[in-house]
Amino acid sequence: MFDIQKIRADFPILTEKVNGKPLVYLDNAATSQKPQVVIDSIVNYYTKYNANIHRGVHTLSQIATNAFEESRTKLQKHFNAKKNYEIIFTSGTTHSINMIATGFSAILNADDEVLVSTMEHHSNIVPWQMLCERTGAKLKVIPMNNEGELLLDEYKKLLSSKTKVVFVNHVSNALGTINPIKKIITEAHKYGAAVLIDGAQSSPHIKPDVQDLDVDFYVASAHKLCGPTGIGILYGKEEWLQKLPPYQGGGEMIKQVTFEKTTYADLPHKFEAGTPNISGGIAFGVAIDYLNSIGFDNIAAYENELLQYATKKLLQIEGLKIYGTSKQKTAVISFNIGNIHPYDIGAIIDKLGIAVRTGHHCAQPIMNFYNIPGTVRASFAFYNTFEEIDLLYEALLKAKMMLE
């Protein structure tokens, strides 16, 4: 059912050598690799039907427009949005969050509060801090425990009628924790607060149902889902997208422009000023089709086997400590070995062909919580193998021997 060799054959990069060694790519939380069908779709667009969209009477423009809009509908179905115009194409998660945080400037005032969690990526912290600076609203933080789990009782205590937006990731990029977002959303809605879920790390592993979650905003990046960089989505409930002002002014986002007054286009175009990443939007749909052909349940089950195997194996290394030990986790292992600096480990195992990320992972508050400068992070995808985990283990033993 899950033919790993067949899957690996879909990814041309996996046969590359790095530093003379076969590539062992364990930096999937930073970005995923791309299957040939996604690469082909980009080449095909530029080779056969490159044209601007939504504006041409000519045939190529219509073909490109149809392909781009078909992709929007694929994404609507995948995330189970009620309407296809609730899917806004953006350049990625960071762009999507900035759109919403900026939009809330028009709604918040100095009496309001917004809630963030301790375990956010900087892109789900800084835009909201900027919002607070503009409006005077107050930022409050949901704490977490040592395992890297949010304290839901504390969260409930922080909620009040002053809370206007809660923004939490579904999965932490630095710890792998899967947060109980349905509960978080239900509690926030008791106070009428909107919830934005950062799905950058969960969307490659878990297929969300935005209607079932009743989430107000859900954001993700294509490049973590086997798609290209420079494209992502913002799902927003229609009522919210109607209420928020546009993020950028420009072409394609207007109904009528005079020097006295401009009226805005209907959704989704109100939020899509300018020429979008057309090939990227189309390729995002191809990537989603590809992942669905493998099946998200199959992906999650296989990756969980990888996680269990890797956790057990790495813990055999003396002095290795894992950060993020929640029972609900995706296949991410963040760790340190003794007092060795994570960068040194990363640099040595890179020479052996193994790609991991080291540092604070754009989540400094997590590092501050554990009082460490950073970690080594191995993040797995459905095209990784148990043999690659063995290679990581051997490489870590070598690095430890050299550095201790």
Q: Active-site residue numbers?
A: 362
Q: x/- binding map, residues 273-312, to ligand 7TS, per CB under 6 A?
A: ----------------------------------------
Which one of 7, 14, 24, 29 is in contact with ligand 7TS (CB under 6 A)?
Answer: 29
Q: Confirm or reject binding of residue 198 to ligand 7TS (CB under 6 A).
A: yes
What does the block give as tokens for 323?
A: 């950060």
Q: Helix 59-79 to helix 278-294 angle, to the nearest 10 degrees?
A: 40
Q: Which of 357, 378, 382, 391 binds ligand 7TS (CB under 6 A)?
A: 357
With beta carbons less than 8 A apart as the criterion, state whether 157 and 183 touch: no
Using the rule CB under 6 A, which residue among 32, 201, 277, 279 binds ligand 7TS? 201
Interface stretch with ligand 7TS, choices 36-44, 60-68, 179-187, 355-363 (CB under 6 A): 355-363
By the rule CB under 6 A, 113 interacts with ligand 7TS:
no
User: Taking the complex as a whole, how short is the minimal distance between the CB of residue 287 and ligand 7TS, in angstroms?
Assistant: 14
Tokens of 157: 């205590």
Kindly tell me which residue out of 98, 163, 173, 179 binds ligand 7TS, with binding defined by CB under 6 A: 173
Beta carbon of residue 217, minimum distance to ligand 7TS (angstroms, whole number): 13
In the shown chain, the binding pattern of residues 177 to 196 toward ligand 7TS, with x for contact by CB under 6 A and - for none, equals --------------------
Distance, in Å, from the CA atom of 81 to the CA atom of 69, rounded to the nearest integer, reads 15
Among residues 34, 121, 270, 329, which is the contact residue for ligand 7TS, using CB under 6 A?
121
Cα maximum dimension of the chain: 72
User: End-to-end CA distance of the chain, in Å?
Assistant: 43
329 touches ligand 7TS by CB under 6 A: no
Provide the 8-state DSSP code for 311. H
- The verdict on 200 binding ligand 7TS (CB under 6 A) reads yes
Hey, which residues between 214 and 243 contact ligand 7TS (CB under 6 A)? 221
Question: Cis peptide before 143, with omega less than 30 degrees from 0?
Answer: no
The nearest distance, CB 210 to ligand 7TS, in angstroms, is 17
d(CA 92, CA 113): 26
Name every residue whose Cβ is closer than 8 Å to that of residue 30 and which is 6 or more positions away in sequence: 357, 379
Q: What contacts 89, CB < 8 A, 6 or more positions away?
A: 72, 231, 232, 233, 268, 272, 276, 277, 281
Size of the site for ligand 7TS (CB under 6 A): 17
| Closest CA relative to residue 235, chosen from 100, 334, 326, 137 | 100
> Which listed residue (361, 366, 370, 380) binds ligand 7TS by CB under 6 A?
361
Task: Indicate whether 326 belongs to the interface with ligand 7TS (CB under 6 A).
Answer: no
Cα dihedral sign, 286-328-192-109: negative
From the CB of 57, what's the least distance to ligand 7TS, in Å? 35
Instruction: Please state, in angstroms and as integers, the Cα–Cα distance from residue 94 to each residue in 14, 90, 128, 227, 232, following that order.
Output: 28, 9, 12, 16, 9
Residue with tokens 């003379």: 20
Tell the smallest beta-carbon distance from residue 368 to ligand 7TS (Å).
17
d(CA 150, CA 155): 8
Stretch that binds ligand 7TS, among 35-43, 105-113, 197-205, 293-301 (CB under 6 A): 197-205
- Minimum distance from residue 343 beta carbon to ligand 7TS (Å): 15
Evaluate whether 366 touches 119 at the Cβ level (below 8 Å).
Answer: yes
Pairing of strands 354-355, 24-25: parallel
93 touching ligand 7TS, by CB under 6 A: yes
Which of 4, 18, 30, 317 binds ligand 7TS (CB under 6 A)? It is 30
C-alpha torsion sign, points 306, 309, 311, 316: negative
Taking the complex as a whole, the smallest distance from the CB of residue 221 to ligand 7TS amounts, in Å, to 3
Select from 133, 206, 139 the least CA-distant residue to 166.
Answer: 139
- Which C-beta is closer to ligand 7TS: that of 29 or that of 213? 29
Q: Rule CB under 6 A: which residues touch ligand 7TS?
A: 29-30, 92-94, 121, 123-124, 169, 173, 198, 200-201, 221, 357, 361-362
